């Protein structure tokens, strides 16, 4: 269950980054709705990260934070490409791939004592 909390929390992290981007592109009532989405997303994200690091099947803080951050970062880069017309370059994809490999590697070498 902790991994489910962590994955959903990472998706909410992606949500709060996207909300900030959309808030910058809008004004008035629409901007405030995106700011509200940011507040809800960041609150849910932090709470789910907290839940993932507790209980009987707690994920170690270093691993949890790295995975949570990577889910948000990877999702935000992909959303930036799809929603904000950010460039797709070899180097962006290369470093995104190395991020994924690094997080998977961290999980493989993390042993709970």
Per-residue model confidence (pLDDT) at position 70: 93
The residue segments making up the domain with residue 17 are: 2-109
**How many separate domains does the chain show?**
1
Instruction: Give the phi and the psi of residue 110 in degrees, each rounded to 5.
Output: -80, 120
Instruction: Give the phi and the psi of residue 88 in degrees, each rounded to 5.
Output: -105, 105
Tens-of-pLDDT digits for all 113 residues of the chain?
999 999 999 999 999 999 999 999 999 999 999 999 999 999 999 999 999 999 888 898 988 999 999 999 999 999 999 988 999 999 999 999 999 999 888 878 876 54
| Angstrom distance (rounded) from CA 10 to CA 49 | 8
Q: Is the dihedral of CA 71, 77, 83, 89 positive or negative?
A: negative
- Can you give the pTM of this predicted structure? 0.84
End-to-end CA distance of the chain: 19
């Amino acid at each position: 269950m902790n991994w489910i909390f962590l994955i959903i929390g990472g998706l909410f992290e992606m949500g709060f980054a996207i909300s900030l981007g959309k808030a910058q592109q809008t004004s008035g009532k629409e901007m405030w709705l995106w700011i509200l989405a940011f507040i809800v997303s960041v609150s849910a994200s932090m709470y789910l990260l907290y839940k993932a690091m507790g209980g009987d099947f707690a994920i170690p803080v270093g691993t949890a934070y790295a995975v949570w951050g990577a889910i948000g970062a990877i999702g935000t880069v992909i959303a930036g490409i799809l929603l904000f017309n950010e460039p797709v370059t070899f180097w962006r994809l290369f470093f995104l791939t190395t991020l994924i490999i690094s997080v998977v590697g961290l999980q493989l070498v993390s042993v709970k004592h």
